[in-house]
Amino acid sequence: MAVSKPVMLDPVLFMAFLLFAIIIFLILYLLNRMQTITSLTQKTEYLSQTLEGLDHQAKLIVKGDMELKLYQEEVEDKLNKLTLLKNLILSSINILDREDLFSQISEKTILDLGFKKGLILNYEDLENKLNLGFAPQEIDAVKKFLLVKKKIFSTTPLLCADSEGGKILADALKTKDFIVAPLKARETVHALLIVAAPVLPAEIRPAEKSALSIIGMYLGQCLDNIKMFEELYMAKDDLEKKVKERTNELVKSLRDIETISKTKTDFISSVSHELRTPLTSVKGFSSLLIAEKFGQLPPEAKKRLEKIDENVNKLVDMVNMLLDIARIESGKTEVKIAPADIAKLMRDTSDFLTPQMQAKQISLSLNAPESIPVFMDKNLIERVLINLINNALKFTPLGGKINLACKINGPHAIISVADTGCGIPKEDMPKLFQEFYRSRLTQNIQGTGLGLSLVKRIIDTHKEKIWIESEVDKGTTFYFNLKLAEKESRNV
């Protein structure tokens, strides 16, 4: 068997093949690296974009945090200023003295407002009311400015360096960091509050301006209230002085009136006593002459004597009434108030006056319960009833009616005497109980004008009331009340 001979490669061809293989390998390696580089580039771009986004978000977060911090500081500052205003209002709301009010502005108040220095000047005379930190030359500069620009505060709510006229004051104070707040109410400037040198080295914020504006208005209103209180207090003092003077004058006049009244009462009492004796004598002799005790008289003479006797009776009644009024006014009449039956007294009085009613053809009706015990002086109240019924009889025409009534109202019995006479004008009623007063409608009817005055004084001694209701041409009703003697009052 024959053995084959090995094939030998060409070295050149082998080298070419090896070189080709190396080139292929390098190409493949480069392609792979290029893919890796591309991937890395993409990742790098992505990471770069992510970092930029994170950086942007971080900046936004930092910015938001700073803004939130500033907002919180602003809110806290406003809350602090609101607390300052609340405390100032609470501490000064009831103050009615200017010095006490200004003393509420302390160094702490100025610091809480955001400033280191504070000054209050009276608007009228520029007198110092408060100084916290201002140097004398600064105060002088402010006063010089105000002497020229004082009227600017009637229209300016706040004066700052950038306000109209503020630059002049800024030059005088050598600083722009100040605010002047007028303490003003209803267009009236009472004082000026000046603050300067902010605590924080920054531009004066709106919060400080707002707080000072509010304080200016509030303190201005307080000063206005104090001014009105002082004026009112002075007016009150003047009024009290005038009232005291008028009271002294009235007391003096009252004493003079009491003296005159006592003199009048004493005079009436004395004259009445002096008149009673001759009247009694005249009455006695006229009665004897009328009874023809000294011999028979001619009819004409007897008629004249009867007229004299009638007029003497009227004079005696007048004198007796004057004496009764004088005794009551002087307190010499003994008033014996005790439980008694007013209904029975009314019936007895009605029976006593029945003949006079019949003579004038006037009907007298009585409307009262069977028994009403009251506190009264029986004799004096009897005179009241007789006078009131006689008064009604006098002014009621023939055929008229008089009604005597009594009803219970609460703790009192109310007694009334009503007639159908001529009535009383409204303008005359307040004067009806005056002595000798006669209504213009009753001038032609005879009477002394003393009966109602005596009635009023008797009711006054019982500490009760008497009043009138009347209508012209329809009649008059007199009322007076007496306290019930029963333990429990009744209503009718």
3-state class of 6 per DSSP?
Answer: coil
Most confident of 219-228, 231-240, 397-406, 454-463: 397-406
pLDDT grade for 442, boundaries at 50, 70 and 90? low
Average pLDDT over residues 471-488: 85
Residue 274 has pLDDT above 60, yes or no: no
Report the chain's C-alpha Rg in angstroms: 57
* 180 close to 169: Cβ distance less than 8 angstroms: yes
CA 292 to chain centre: 80
Q: Distance (Å, rounded) from C-alpha 193 to C-alpha 123? A: 10
Q: Which has more confidence, 161 or 120?
A: 120
Residue (of 163, 155, 190, 201) closest to 179 by Cα position: 163
Contacts of 340 (CB under 8 A, 6+ apart): 373, 374, 375, 376, 378, 485
Q: What is the pLDDT of residue 340?
A: 93
Q: What is the pLDDT of residues 96-118, one digit of tens each?
A: 888 888 888 888 888 888 888 99
Q: What is the pLDDT of residue 331?
A: 61
Q: What is the pLDDT of residue 245?
A: 86
* 327 close to 319: Cβ distance less than 8 angstroms: no
Residue 490 has pLDDT above 50, yes or no: no
Q: Domains in the chain, start-ordered, CATH in brackets? A: 98-236 (3.30.450.40), 335-483 (3.30.565.10)
Q: What is the pLDDT of residue 385?
A: 92
3-state class of 83 per DSSP?
Answer: helix
Question: Which residues lie across from 120 on neighbouring strands?
Answer: 130, 193
Residue (of 153, 204, 211, 209) closest to 183 by Cα position: 153
Q: Distance (Å, rounded) from C-alpha 100 to C-alpha 114? A: 23
Q: What's the whole-number average pLDDT of the chain? A: 80
Q: What is the pLDDT of residue 488?
A: 40
Q: What is the pTM of this model?
A: 0.44
Residue 322 has pLDDT above 70, yes or no: no
3-state class of 246 per DSSP?
Answer: helix
* 119 close to 140: Cβ distance less than 8 angstroms: no
Residue (of 476, 477, 405, 404) closest to 442 by Cα position: 476
* Among the ranges given (191-205, 253-267, 333-347, 431-445), the one the predictor scored with the smallest mean pLDDT: 431-445
3-state class of 492 per DSSP?
Answer: coil
Residue 3 has pLDDT above 80, yes or no: no
Q: Which has more confidence, 150 or 251?
A: 251
Q: Distance (Å, rounded) from C-alpha 62 to C-alpha 69? A: 10
* 186 close to 224: Cβ distance less than 8 angstroms: yes
pLDDT grade for 476, boundaries at 50, 70 and 90? very high
- Could you tell me the CA-to-CA distances from 294 to 232, 248, 255, 301, 304 in Å, in that order? 85, 65, 55, 13, 16
